[in-house]
C-alpha cells in the first residue's frame, strides 16, 4: 500500500517527440499509479518544468525547439526534481555532457519498460532520502529482519529462505546452493538493478574483475530451470552494462 501511495503522488513529465514511444511510456507508468504528462517540444518543456516542478522528467536527447542538453542547462538551477535522459547514442561523451549539465541518470534506447520503472523508483528513493526522515527506513529494516525467513511469494514462484527451497507452480525446482543464493539476492531486491559487482561481493566476497562470468552462468541456469525465455527473458532481465533485474509480477 505504501508503495502505491508513493507512486500515486509522483508526477512525471515525459519530454519526447516520438508520439508512439511517449504514449507507450504513459500507458505503462499509469498502470503503476504515476501521474504522467507528455510534452513533445523542447522549448515548451523548459517553461513547463520550471512552472510545474514534476518529480521526474524523462527527457529525450533529440527534440524540436531545444535538445535535451539545452533543457538541462536551462532548468537545472531552478528545478529540484530528477532528470532521466533518454538517448539512442552509446557515445560516452553524450552521457558525460548530460551528467555535467544536470541529468541524474541515463537510459539508452530501445527502452525496456521494466528497466525504466526501476530507474524511476531509484530516482524517487534518492529524492525521498534527501529530507532524511528517519522513522520509515528504521521500521522497514526491522520488518525485513523479523521476516527474513518467511516465504517469498511472486505469483507462481515461492522461495523458502530457511529451507532454501524454491517452488514453481507448486513443484520443487532443484537448484544448486549457488543458484539459490543468486535467486534469493535478486528476489530480495526485486525491481532493482543488481550489478555483477554487487552480486559477486555479496555472494563470494570478491571484486568483479570484468572477466568473471560465474554470475552470468548461474543466471542462465536459473532462467532454464524456472521456465524463463532464454532468448527474450521476461522474469530475470539483463540490463546491458548494468546487471540483472528480477521482475516480481512476471511469474
pLDDT digit string, tens, across residues 73-109? 889 888 889 999 998 876 666 677 777 778 888 888 8
Domains of the chain (ranges, CATH numbers): 2-129 (3.40.50.2300), 147-250 (1.10.10.10)
Confidence (pLDDT) at 134: 42
User: In the predicted model, is pLDDT for residue 210 greater than 60?
Assistant: no
Confidence grade of residue 215 (pLDDT, cut at 50, 70, 90): confident
User: What does the mean pLDDT of the chain come to?
Assistant: 82
Give the Cα separation of 194 and 9 in Å (integer).
26
User: In the predicted model, is pLDDT for residue 167 greater than 90?
Assistant: yes
E strands within the chain?
A: 11-15, 35-39, 56-60, 82-87, 105-108, 152-154, 157-160, 165-168, 171-172, 193-194, 236-239, 243-246
Total-model pTM: 0.57
89 vs 29, higher pLDDT = 29
Q: Which residues contact 152 (CB under 8 A, 6 or more apart)?
A: 158, 159, 161, 184, 187, 188
Per the structure block, which three cell numbers stand in for 67? 535538445
Give the Cα separation of 203 and 217 in Å (integer).
14
Burial class (CB in 10 A: 0-12, 13-18, 19+), 90: exposed
Burial class (CB in 10 A: 0-12, 13-18, 19+), 115: buried
Cis peptide leading into residue 143 (ω within 30°):
no
Amino acid at each position: 500500500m505504501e508503495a502505491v501511495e508513493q507512486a500515486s503522488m509522483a508526477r512525471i513529465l515525459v519530454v519526447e517527440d516520438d508520439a508512439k514511444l511517449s504514449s507507450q511510456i504513459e500507458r505503462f507508468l499509469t498502470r503503476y499509479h504515476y501521474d504522467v504528462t507528455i510534452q513533445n517540444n523542447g522549448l515548451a518543456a523548459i517553461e513547463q518544468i520550471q512552472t510545474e516542478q514534476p518529480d521526474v522528467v524523462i527527457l529525450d536527447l533529440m527534440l524540436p525547439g531545444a535538445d535535451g542538453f539545452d533543457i538541462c542547462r536551462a532548468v537545472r538551477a531552478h528545478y529540484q526534481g530528477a532528470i532521466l535522459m533518454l538517448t539512442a547514442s552509446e557515445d560516452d561523451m553524450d552521457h558525460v555532457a548530460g551528467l555535467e549539465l544536470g541529468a541524474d541518470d541515463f537510459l539508452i534506447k530501445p527502452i525496456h519498460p521494466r528497466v525504466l520503472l526501476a530507474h524511476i523508483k531509484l530516482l524517487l528513493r534518492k529524492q525521498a532520502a534527501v529530507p532524511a526522515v528517519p522513522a520509515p527506513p528504521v521500521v522497514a529494516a526491522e520488518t525485513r529482519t523479523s521476516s527474513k525467513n518467511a516465504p517469498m511469494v511472486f505469483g507462481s514462484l515461492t522461495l523458502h529462505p530457511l529451507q532454501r527451497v524454491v517452488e514453481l507452480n507448486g513443484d520443487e525446482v532443484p537448484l544448486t546452493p549457488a543458484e539459490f543464493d543468486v535467486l534469493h539476492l535478486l528476489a530480495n531486491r526485486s525491481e532493482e538493478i543488481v550489478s555483477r559487482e554487487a552480486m559477486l561481493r555479496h555472494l563470494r566476497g570478491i571484486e568483479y574483475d570484468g572477466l568473471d562470468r560465474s554470475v552470468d552462468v548461474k543466471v542462465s541456469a536459473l532462467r532454464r530451470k524456472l521456465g524463463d525465455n532464454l532468448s527474450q527473458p521476461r522474469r530475470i532481465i539483463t540490463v546491458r552494462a548494468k546487471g540483472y533485474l528480477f521482475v516480481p509480477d512476471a511469474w
